[in-house]
Amino acid sequence: MRRWLLISVPYLWLLVFFLIPFFIVFKISLSDIATAIPPYTPVFDFSMGIGEFISKLDFENYRFIFNDSLYVNSYFSALKIAGISTVLTLLVAYPIAYGMARAPKEWQPTLVMLVILPFWTSFLIRVYAWIGILKKEGLLNLFLMNLGVISEPLTIMNTPLAVYIGIIYSYLPFMILPLYASLEKINPALLEAAADLGSPPWKSFWQVTFPLSLPGVLAGCFLVFIPATGEFVIPDLLGGSDTLMIGKTLWGEFFGNRDWPVASAVAVVLLLVLVIPIVMFQSNQEKEREAAR
Amino acid sequence: MRRFSWFNATSIALGFAFLYIPILLLVIYSFNESKLVTVWGGWSTKWYASLLQNEGLLNAAWVTLRVAILSSTLATILGTLAAIVLVRAGRFPGRTLFSGLIFAPLVMPEVITGLSMLLLFVALNMDRGFWTVVIAHATFSMCFAAVVVQARLYDFDKSVEEAAMDLGATQIQTFLQVTLPIIAPSVISAWLLSFTLSLDDLVIASFATGPGATTLPMKIYSQVRLGVTPEINAISTIMIGLVTIGVLVASYSTKRASQQQERELKAVDAGAK
């Protein structure tokens, strides 16, 4: 009895405020835009029967999305940018996590703390910090020109490169921490054994360390890739008008065009695109949890 | 005793330089006398003084603070309950869905969460504003809170709870007097995490809010779009400073609390033998 009460409180909360809203989004994506408040035709009209209800559903908004190159390009470009940034983040994060896992034991809590600390400071502020660095008259150009490395300022701001830098920077802790967690668990005796058996360090790395760190690699990649695909703030502030990403397009559709049904359809398709990585992420977490027991 | 190898030391140094230099530059330039970002005009605190004159920004800061306190408290309670359900409730119908609902918000793009919450509030005919932002923030923060508390629940020795029950404590007594004190450090970090998540959030708040409830990130965002100004640097510096102090104090006190606990448990162990 008490057990059911305990379960039902958080469960009901999540059902009402997280799961049911998705069904509403889906329903509204099937309705038409209307000049009213709220700006769409009613979601539920209980006067009609089931048959009529089904016949009233139309996929007009979806047809519209798939026939308009803006949306299709936004999806592909978001997936591409998120994919490339995930790989780059992994490449940047791995040596750091590796170094941390091999650092003296008494240093490690401090190092972990130092990785988490920037994550606690505002995402928006951290992205904003890069505007001052990357823009044409920004600090990076100033620095490089004073050094004499370049004579003309580089155009980084408002290009995809700025978005890559922004994503790597903002999501780096999400990659470092799971990597560190799995690297730190590796028993050093395994590497000693490999060395005793004549394996050179790089070979031990690829045949022992890297495979054992795979759960961390996977978790980190999901934690970066999935949210980065729907990212809004970074492409909006650093990417300029040339960088298409679906999160930005959705935002514009909703706040700019006020077309809620199309915005909902965009969200549903984005969710469908991400459902496979999300399910993979969850089963990966579930497996890790079982292993932790 | 392990030492730093040159490779590991270099990669850590470079990594931390990458993580911290942008924040440092932001802080330094908040003290810049000149309005131009690239021109150093000498040290000055005038941008901090002008913040205090900015009524809109101060109002937004106040709204944000209240939202963050309320939503993180709600999120911590719900998240702790959810963590207990995940770890201790065993199998029950719909468990897979439940754990899915806990993990999905961690990675769900904010634009989707924000839009779906808004449409729910509209469908329920709720007045959008302060309270809808609180609910929205509590909902996604509770999942982060649940993950933090759950990790601690897995760690600790269940036999302490069993001992309490054997000695005649009721379930509720056991929870309040044994379990809660043990998981307290993680509950505190869950609260802090929820608090900063709420403080930071731009996207979900923009969807969930209504007239009269503009949060600080929304205000900062609309100013950032107009360009980099030392005033934003100043407010950012204040936020970074507060968060840094908060996190350092919290981690120091939870560390002490857990050391204390370990000592006590050891003493109990020694007594038992």
Domains of chain A, first to last: 100-263+273-293 (1.10.3720.10)
- State the pLDDT at residue A165: 95
Task: Report CB contact under 8 Å: A100, B84.
Answer: no
- State the pLDDT at residue A114: 87
**Nearest-by-Cβ selection for B38 from A120, A139, A282:** A139
Task: Report CB contact under 8 Å: B19, A115.
Answer: yes
**Nearest-by-Cβ selection for B22 from A21, A169, A293:** A169
Which comes out higher in pLDDT, residue A155 or A45? A155
Complex confidence, ipTM: 0.85
- State the pLDDT at residue B212: 77
The two structure tokens encoding residue A21: 């809203």
Report DSSP letters for A22-79, one per residue: HHHHHHHHTS-B-SSSSSB--S--TTS-HHHHHHH---HHHHHHHH-HHHHHHHHHHH
Average pLDDT, whole number, for chain A? 86
Q: Which among B155, B161, B158, B110 is positioned nearest to B137, based on CA atoms?
A: B110
Confidence of residue A54 (pLDDT cuts 50, 70, 90): low
B200 at interface of A, judged by CB pairs closer than 8 A: yes
The pLDDT tens digits for A260-276 are 888 999 999 999 988 88
Q: How far is CA B190 from CA A38, A89, B145, in A?
A: 36, 26, 5
Q: Please, which residues 87-146 of chain A have a Cβ atom closer than 8 Å to chain B?
A: 92-93, 95-96, 98-100, 102-105, 111, 113-118, 120-126, 128-133, 135, 137-139, 142
B8 at interface of A, judged by CB pairs closer than 8 A: yes
What is the DSSP code (8-state) at residue A258? -
The two structure tokens encoding residue B104: 């999905």
The two structure tokens encoding residue A159: 């290009």
- State the pLDDT at residue B208: 93
Q: Which of A82-96, A145-159, B46-60, B149-163 has the highest mean pLDDT?
A: A82-96
d(C-alpha B59, C-alpha B216), whole Å: 8
Residue type, B235: I
- State the pLDDT at residue A48: 57
Domains of chain B, first to last: 26-272 (1.10.3720.10)
- State the pLDDT at residue A168: 95
- State the pLDDT at residue B1: 42
Q: Which among A140, A161, A159, A141 is positioned nearest to A151, based on CA atoms?
A: A141
- State the pLDDT at residue B225: 82
Mutate to test the interface with B, among A3, A5, A8, A11 (most CBs of B within 10 A): A11
Whether A1 shows a pLDDT value over 90: the answer reads no
Three-state SS for A267? helix
Whether A231 shows a pLDDT value over 60: the answer reads yes
Q: Please, which residues 66-85 of chain B have a Cβ atom closer than 8 Å to chain A?
A: 78-79, 81-82, 84-85
Task: Report CB contact under 8 Å: A172, B18.
Answer: yes
Tell if the pTM clears 0.90, that is, is over it: no
Whether A216 shows a pLDDT value over 60: the answer reads yes
Three-state SS for B32? strand
Ordered per-residue pLDDT tens for chain B, 273 residues = 456 688 888 889 999 999 999 999 888 888 888 777 667 778 888 888 888 888 888 889 899 999 999 999 999 999 999 999 988 887 888 888 898 899 888 888 899 999 999 999 988 888 888 999 999 999 999 999 998 898 888 877 778 888 888 888 888 888 888 888 888 888 988 998 899 889 889 999 999 998 878 999 998 898 888 777 788 888 888 888 888 887 787 777 777 777 777 777 777 777 665
Whether A79 shows a pLDDT value over 50: the answer reads yes
**Nearest-by-Cβ selection for A111 from B1, B12, B239:** B12
Please give the angle made by the CA atoms of A221, A226 and A232, to the nearest 5 degrees: 125
Confidence of residue A164 (pLDDT cuts 50, 70, 90): very high
* C-alpha neighbours within 13 Å on the C-beta side of residue B233: 29
Task: Report CB contact under 8 Å: A11, B5.
Answer: no
Q: Which residue has the tokens 């204390």?
A: B260
B105 contacts in chain A (CB < 8 Å):
18
d(C-alpha A212, C-alpha A182), whole Å: 7
Three-state SS for B94? coil
